[in-house]
Structure 1
Amino acid sequence: MAMKNSIYIILIGCIIAISACNDLDLAPLSEGSTENWYSNEVEINMSINDLYKPVFWGNDQVDWTDDWTYRETLTAITSATINGEWGTVEGLWSNAYKGISRANTIIHNLEISSINLPEEKMNQYIAEARFARAYQYSKLVSHFGDVVFYQDVLELEEAYSLGRTNKDIVMEAVYEDFDFAIAHLPVTYSNDEIKRGTKGAALAFKARAALYNEDWEIAREAALACINLGEYQLFPNYGDLFLPENRSASELIFSIPRSTALNYDLSVRGYLPRNNGGYAAYDPSWDLLASYLCTDGLPVDESAVFDPHEPFQNRDPRCGYTIVPFQTEFLGIMYQPHPDSTRVYNFNTGAYQANNDTKGNQLYASFNGLVWKKGIDQTWVDDFSAENSAIIIRYADVLLMYAEASIELNQIDQTVLDAMNQVRARAYGSAVDEASSYPEISSQSQEELRSILRMERRMEFAFEGLRYMDLIRWRVAEDALNQPDYGLLDLAELKTKVVDKGLWFFPSVPEIDENGIPDFSAMADQGLIKQLSNRQFDASKQYLWPIPTKEILINSNLTQNQGY
């Protein structure tokens, strides 16, 4: 890494005092600190591998959305208290610029390197760095809008004087980087366990970046090219796709392996039922449960087959794959939150035991009766950690991005319907041409398909970190996140007002809007459900994040986003 007159800018203006100099991270352990570092492929690969650190990759948090309940707790986003001092804002900005600076350094050194490598191999390495840089800039733009933009290794003084660049200019560079990566990255690597950028990943991320920027034609073209690679296919069983043993499934285009040994795993007790030693605190919301379509393809407020007292019956199968259905075995124990079910069957011991997942026994059982199922298996219980891959992008997303971009362009044909139906048919365990075995999508109305597509994405990608940006880019966060989060009444009222009157589980049917967002206010007005928290979203500013405060303080050329 060249260090004569320039240094890595790991995050722009991230120091106010001398103590903050540690943030500069001038010489990562994976790289040398002299001019001759890039002298062989081992050193180059060490530098490239540094770009794939988990901290540089990932989707957004589920708890920023209406898919999530954490008892009576809100986040900075769902309470409308987000500001430039929030650690998450600082962390996203900081880590993105660390990744960008390291990518810039790699590109610069490879371009001037005298190492004797075939041009094809040298271009592949440069393509990996440009792939990573494009990803980081696209993430910054989607959250902050106009951002600091540079593609060189900068001197310190220059770095602290840069202002923000119009996001359209940044996105042009993002597309150029992705295009270089698409041209020079391999379709696959010889070692299946290697998780590095591929041609398909570059196409998929380009499609996502364009979709988030409403560049519909670019998104459609990139998604279609990814589909036409023929490299990816939907995993046959939706529920099994997310389990640890399927971390190399052909549907996964780009993912980051989790590993306890590498100190990158997920602390899981907040997700697990109390009967299995968990806390049942981080739970799916009622909003999410109500949003799944019924087996006739209709939302719950339009379907003749929906019974609010048996909310898991006659639902899209992804509902039961994502949220544990009542009175079913889960992790070896029957899951039943009904307040009268004070004992449940343990399939591991062959005996009944006290049921700690009901308010009838346990005050801190799930506050809304729901727990997550997606991707969770016995390994979570054995070690209270998860080693499922962190899925960043998969083939189902590419199919639905192709469909969405086509719908927004009003270029609707059979390929669009086929893309959506492939995703839906897989959920039912059906082939796409077996229309009688799943609710086939057949409308060619732009308005109807837009609504269907939005509901489809919510069902397909719950718990995967895509919901937040969907709410933001569709401009419906103000609808979804300005509604209270509801759960079960306290035990005494729950029994007298709901259970004893035969109204368990949902007392009635919530209304669903065209974006799949439910309205529980009628039940709340009748005193039949409990408000857990009052979500807030300030539409005047929250569609963009604030620039970190310390960046503004140290750099007079940086401007803040409106409202912060």
Structure 2
Amino acid sequence: MKNSKNLFMRKALVLGLIASTISIQSCKKSFLDVNPAQNTAATQFFKTQDDATKAVNAMYANLHEWNNIAFAPIAVESMGSDDVEKGSTASDATFFNDYHNFTITAGDAQLGGFWKGQYQTINFANQIITNVPGISMDESLKARYVAEAKFIRAYEFFRLVRAFGDVPLRITLPKDASEYNLPRTPKDQVWAQIEKDLTDAAAVLPQSYSAVDIGHVTKGAALTMHAKVAMYLKKWTDVNTYTTAVMGMGYSLYPDYEQMFRTTHKNNQESIFEIQCNLIPNNPPASNSQYSQVQGVRGVTGGGWGFNVPSPELAAAYETGDPRRDATIIFRGETTPEGDKIPATGDNPMYNQKSYVPFAQFVSGFNEGCQQNKIVLRYADVLLMNAEANNELGNSGAALPLLEQVRARARGVNAGVLPKVTTTDQAALRTAIYNERRFEFAMEFERYFDVIRQGRATAVFGSRGWKTGKNEVWPIPQTEIDLSGGALTQNPGY
């Protein structure tokens, strides 16, 4: 099991060396083909269009680095939810239980790992935003690269601000050592910067790309992310505006809910933004995603470590006959739709089917499931955000057809399950939309922060120790407070 590093190398981060993930390969190859072994100092970089492309590739590659996609995000973005349990064996990675039971302290390494992962990616974005405009290159590509970096910066600050509240707003490169350590910025200012970046990005980004650039962020991604931000801020008119725009861009629900998450259907018509993860032949270091591996079925070749497993509460909560239950949960003893027989005995009764990669795709010497993308934004979220916004704005009649689109896809050909929601009572429809979000996005790292933003955390998580006025955010990593020389302060209650 990989250990997350405790020490955040702040000076290297803020100085902004373009390191560890810049490709020295030809630009004609896919931006997924990244060689993580090359390092180039920023002072010697950003001279040509090729440099700019490599920097953008590095930024995207960092999204599937360990701290961005494996243990730290599971701890911070999933483990507090009622839909999950730690998994694996009882004695392995017991720190996950401290997140689940809200007994975590500021010294836990996963907090520092999550913080480090997001700020590393923000640094890549800041390097692009600062340095690419000065390169003599194709002007439209230059503008697009800067817009992509603004989206990624916004996405990472979104993850930070909902996890920690006030966080340092690093949007420029430091001029000297006096600017290495920033204090925490009030969260309202962080949210405002996120919105500005997304507005800027949406104004420039294209709606689609040719095959070689699939996976780069689009206008639809910027608008969808902005809608999600507005939803957290309860700006319901804005949520409605942004999602309505995306609904006119040609996205649609993938017809088979279970198959949507398989590697053979990456970047389908429902996908708005996915973190691209590939098995690159003869290059295990570049095939470094452990998103699937850490959650895979334990004890079988081609499976994984068995963490972040569905809870009995989630399994029992689905409406009778909802096909999403079997499409989300791998049960011990079942045979998957892809033909993998799951052992009838083992450490865990259930596993996350959305991160599952069929065992036959395992290649010795590579991480299990390293080719599995992490879906960040998809069209079902657009429909349900629009439904929630309309309901909050008092227009339940407009919300119902959007909710029905999602239920109809889940229902499939079996018309006897998942009846239409017909209530126009605002409170009842709000509950129906909340429930739909739970089942539609189960095991996709949405539930925990959804419940908090909905104001229901005490009711839903209180039996496990969640406390109002404290657990809306996680503690600031103690390593960061120490390294800051006192510039950073701790969240109340920790």
The TM tier, using the shorter chain, reads 0.7 to 0.9
Q: Is the 8 A contact 1:271 1:281 kept in 2?
A: yes
The residue that corresponds to 1:357 in the other structure is 344
* Cα 1:272–1:552 shift into 2, 3 Å: closer
- 1: CA distance, partners of 2:166 / 2:138: 38
2:316 to 290, 314, 317: 290
Q: Is the 8 A contact 1:417 1:441 kept in 2?
A: yes
Kindly provide the amino acid, as one letter, of the partner of residue 555 in structure 1: G
2:324 to 302, 318, 323: 318
The residue that corresponds to 1:115 in the other structure is 136
SS at match of 1:392: strand
The residue that corresponds to 1:195 in the other structure is 215
- 2: CA distance, partners of 1:329 / 1:98: 40
The residue that corresponds to 2:80 in the other structure is 64
SS at match of 2:155: helix
Unaligned 5+ segments in structure 1 are: 1-12, 295-314, 336-355, 359-363, 484-534
Q: Is the 8 A contact 2:215 2:275 kept in 1?
A: yes
* Cα 1:256–1:443 shift into 2, 3 Å: same
Q: Is the 8 A contact 1:78 1:537 kept in 2?
A: no
2:17 to 10, 22, 26: 26
Kindly provide the amino acid, as one letter, of the partner of residue 397 in structure 1: D
1:215 matched to 2:144? The reply is no
| Partner deviation per Cα, 1:108-162 (whole Å, 9 max, x = no partner) | 2233x151533x3322121111111111222211111112113221134333452
The residue that corresponds to 2:395 in the other structure is 411
The residue that corresponds to 1:186 in the other structure is 206
Q: Is the 8 A contact 1:321 1:373 kept in 2?
A: yes
1:238 matched to 2:257? The reply is yes
1:425 matched to 2:392? The reply is no
Q: Is the 8 A contact 1:104 1:129 kept in 2?
A: yes
- 2: CA distance, partners of 1:267 / 1:150: 31
- 2: CA distance, partners of 1:103 / 1:22: 12
Q: Is the 8 A contact 1:142 1:213 kept in 2?
A: no
Q: Is the 8 A contact 1:212 1:473 kept in 2?
A: yes
- 2: CA distance, partners of 1:67 / 1:116: 48
Q: Is the 8 A contact 2:357 2:372 kept in 1?
A: no
Unaligned 5+ segments in structure 2 are: 1-6, 23-38, 281-286
The residue that corresponds to 1:8 in the other structure is none
SS at match of 2:146: helix
- 2: CA distance, partners of 1:382 / 1:561: 43
2:446 to 445, 450, 466: 466
Q: Is the 8 A contact 1:269 1:277 kept in 2?
A: no
SS at match of 1:81: coil
The residue that corresponds to 2:108 in the other structure is 86
- 2: CA distance, partners of 1:193 / 1:122: 15
SS at match of 2:191: helix
* 1:268 CA drift (Å): 4.2
2:145 to 83, 103, 125: 125
The residue that corresponds to 2:479 in the other structure is 550
Q: Is the 8 A contact 1:77 1:537 kept in 2?
A: no
* Cα 1:159–1:93 shift into 2, 3 Å: farther
Q: Is the 8 A contact 1:269 1:279 kept in 2?
A: yes
2:381 to 384, 393, 397: 397
State TM-score, norm by structure 2.
0.80
- 2: CA distance, partners of 1:397 / 1:544: 23
* Cα 1:544–1:57 shift into 2, 3 Å: same
SS at match of 1:84: coil
- 1: CA distance, partners of 2:14 / 2:79: 27
The residue that corresponds to 2:51 in the other structure is 43
| Pair member with larger Rg | 1
Kindly provide the amino acid, as one letter, of the partner of residue 17 in structure 2: L
Q: Is the 8 A contact 1:243 1:377 kept in 2?
A: yes
- 2: CA distance, partners of 1:114 / 1:382: 42
- 1: CA distance, partners of 2:356 / 2:135: 49
Corresponding residue pairs, total: 444
SS at match of 1:235: coil
